[in-house]
Amino acid sequence: MPTTLLRPYALSIKNRLLVRASRAKNLAQDLLITGICLSIMFSVYSGLTGFLIHVQENPSHIQNVPPKIVALALLAFFLLLMFSNLIACLSFFFSARDLPLLLSLPISPFRLYFSRVLIALINSSWVILLFGIPALMAFNTALALDWSFVPLACLIMLPFLLIPTAFSSIFAMAFVNLIPANRIREVVGFLVIAVCLGAYYFVQKIPFTMSSQEQQIESILSTVSTLSNPNPIWVPSRWASELIGHLMGYPSAAPLLHALLLFGSAAGLICLGFLAFDMFFMRGWTLSLRGNRGPRIHRVGMLEIGSRWIFPLFPQFRGLMLKECRMFIRDTTQIVQLMLLLMLTFVYLYNFKVLRNIALTNSETHAWWQTILCVANISLGGCVVAAISTRFVYPAISLEGQAYWIVRSAPLDIKSLLLNKFWIWLIPISSVALVLLVAGAWAINVTPAAVFLSGIIGVALSVGIVGLGIGIGAVYAQFDWESPTQVAASFGSLVFMLLAIAVVMISLLPASVLIMLSSVPGVATALSRLDYLITISCASFLAFFINFCAARWALNAGYQSLQAMEK
């Protein structure tokens, strides 16, 4: 059976729970993750239930809004599943470390393919299935549906989750076989440009106006209608939404046909994926190995020459920086993740361009609205920087892999290694934070002083977030990963994300004072010139001090953890 190859994963979970040496630590981690998941599930359930009850109060919306919400949510989930499954299939089919061992064993292609598909399905879809169940329960509660709605809807979701995985496995086979290994980065770069242009065109087509609350609701409903109606009949999200809408009691054309299309497409794509795997996997595996170039002796490139001019007095820092740049450029998964984060940044900046209309509705509260939006820009921008650091900064230590011991054999102690990693990643992360916060403040049209102070706060937040990423990444370092994506999806990344958000929220206290002094004229004029400068200086110092303390604590914790691991 294909599940035989899944036994090592089940045994690792069993041993994790039974080994006495780490039982208490693992139990604390499991309880923390369970508590966070339950709180998010409860928030989804309560928020969606309240919204649906509010929709039921308007008879003109009760017949249109719930099925369109389901259709729009499933369409968004389908696109997200396609992207995440593509990365997972490329990773588990061609980049996993256990593949050479599996290919040397007498395992049938049937078992190998279905085990890889199940692993990719579990790693890519469990979050949507876990948090989709509270949404289904919210529909069941708010609309007073039958008890069988949730089980039947979960049954419909199974082929809906399986279709993107099977399709991504076929696409991964074609991608690796058709595109040369040394041209993957160029193709991904082209996809980045295409996705950004498509997102820009898509956002420009969304109507958005800001006025009264009723008009805001109508604008949201019209936007939902615009996005859900063009859903093509050949998209699986359309079939699943029609079936779930039929279970909710809304009229649906040919539900049996949609069920046949959904389940038949899942089975057909699985069979087609197995045929593609059986015919093209070994050729694609051979081609993918050609891209793994060994060490070569070559002349010094422009990157080395430029680094020697910029950092002539720090050879250790220069060597580590060049190594990090090469690792980032050569890792295709890092570039794909960068594409997703560029889309997130684009949506973030567009949202503040839209929210600028709020500050223009009332001239009396214009300055206060700008202050509120500028503080929101700092908080959300800090969260975006933390999300970017989760993908790139936190795995910086773990991505060394087995080469970590080669780095340790160099004349470089652990503390110097962590500090060099910190300064290497502080430069790009602080640049991203500057662009995000300054562009967001500029889009809100605040005063030049507030724009400048937003950039200062962005640099301060970068110090704390990068320090936490390197330090917590060292505390939860794992050098035996099978795929680089596993490091960013581990328990340590969750701890880092929570601590980074906490630092951002604490830093909002001095940041709010700075923005208020620079945006609201009445507050600044109430203080003397000396008091104004003292307040600005103290708030700026406090922002840097908070993040410096967080970074120093995390780096010390990472140093102690790595030192204890080597004993």
The half-sphere exposure of 294 on its side-chain side, counting CA atoms within 13 A, is 0
How many domains are there within the chain? 2
Secondary structure in 3-state letters for 288-300: HHHCCCCCCCCCC
Structural domain boundaries enclosing 478: 313-567
Q: How far apart are CA 351 and CA 373, in angstroms?
A: 11
Is residue 184 domain-shared with residue 131, that is, in the same domain? yes
Q: How far apart are CA 268 and CA 163, in angstroms?
A: 9
Place of tokens 């140093």: 559
Is residue 67 domain-shared with residue 166, that is, in the same domain? yes
The DSSP-derived string for 273-337 is HHHHHHHHHHHHHHHHHHT----------HHHHHHHHH-TT-HHHHHHHHHHHHHHHH-HHHHHH
pLDDT at 463: 93
Is residue 36 domain-shared with residue 135, that is, in the same domain? yes
Q: How far apart are CA 419 and CA 392, in angstroms?
A: 16
Report which of 496, 470, 478, 408 is spatially closest to residue 97, judged by C-alpha positions: 478
Is residue 482 domain-shared with residue 350, that is, in the same domain? yes
In the chain (567 residues long), the average pLDDT of successive 10-residue segments reads 69 67 63 78 85 72 71 81 81 79 84 88 79 86 84 90 92 81 57 59 48 47 48 81 84 82 92 91 79 47 54 65 69 62 62 55 61 82 86 84 74 83 89 85 80 90 93 84 69 84 91 83 71 86 93 91 80
Is residue 222 domain-shared with residue 127, that is, in the same domain? yes
- Reading phi first (left if > 0) and then psi (alpha if -120 to 50, else beta), residue 410 is in beta
Structural domain contains residue 306? no
Output DSSP code: residue 394.
G
Q: How far apart are CA 77 and CA 156, in angstroms?
A: 14
Q: How far apart are CA 39 and CA 404, in angstroms?
A: 37
The half-sphere exposure of 364 on its side-chain side, counting CA atoms within 13 A, is 0
Structural domain contains residue 302? no
Task: Tell me how long the chain is.
Answer: 567
Helix (H, G, I), strand (E, B) or coil at 38: helix
Q: How many CB atoms lie within 10 A of CB 20?
A: 6
Give residues with Cβ within 8 angstroms of 544, minimum separation 6.
Answer: 460, 463
Is residue 395 domain-shared with residue 543, that is, in the same domain? yes
pLDDT at 62: 63
Is residue 353 domain-shared with residue 218, that is, in the same domain? no
Place of tokens 């239930």: 49
Model-wide pTM > 0.95: no
Report which of 334, 553, 355, 331 is spatially closest to residue 443, judged by C-alpha positions: 355
Structural domain contains residue 304? no
**Helix residue ranges, H only, 311-403:** 315-330, 332-359, 366-392
Is residue 409 domain-shared with residue 471, that is, in the same domain? yes
pLDDT at 9: 73
Instruction: Output the CA angle 514-517-522, nearest 5 degrees.
Output: 165
pLDDT at 213: 44
Q: How far apart are CA 501 and CA 119, in angstroms?
A: 31
The DSSP-derived string for 248-260 is TT---S-HHHHHH
Report which of 252, 242, 263 is spatially closest to residue 75, judged by C-alpha positions: 242
Q: How far apart are CA 66 and CA 253, in angstroms?
A: 17
Is residue 342 domain-shared with residue 277, that is, in the same domain? no
Report which of 368, 395, 559, 564 is spatially closest to residue 469, judged by C-alpha positions: 395
Give residues with Cβ within 8 angstroms of 95, minimum separation 6.
Answer: 288, 333, 483, 484
Structural domain contains residue 236? yes
Give residues with Cβ within 8 angstroms of 307, minimum separation 6.
Answer: 318, 321, 322
Is residue 39 domain-shared with residue 186, that is, in the same domain? yes
Structural domain contains residue 141? yes
pLDDT at 197: 61
Q: How far apart are CA 269 and CA 164, in angstroms?
A: 9
Structural domain contains residue 434? yes
Is residue 285 domain-shared with residue 318, that is, in the same domain? no
Instruction: Output the CA angle 54-55-59, nearest 5 degrees.
Output: 120
Q: How far apart are CA 118 and CA 125, in angstroms?
A: 10
Structural domain contains residue 442? yes
Q: How far apart are CA 486 and CA 333, in angstroms?
A: 12
Q: Which two tokens stand for residue 347?
A: 């949506």
> In this structure, are residues 250 and 67 in contact, taking their beta carbons and an 8 Å threshold?
yes
Report which of 191, 170, 132, 193 is spatially closest to residue 269, judged by C-alpha positions: 170
Q: How far apart are CA 420 and CA 400, in angstroms?
A: 14
Which burial class, exposed, middle or buried, applies to 66 when counting CB atoms under 10 A from its CB (0-12, 13-18, 19+)? buried
Report which of 393, 462, 391, 401 is spatially closest to residue 421, judged by C-alpha positions: 393
Is residue 236 domain-shared with residue 325, that is, in the same domain? no
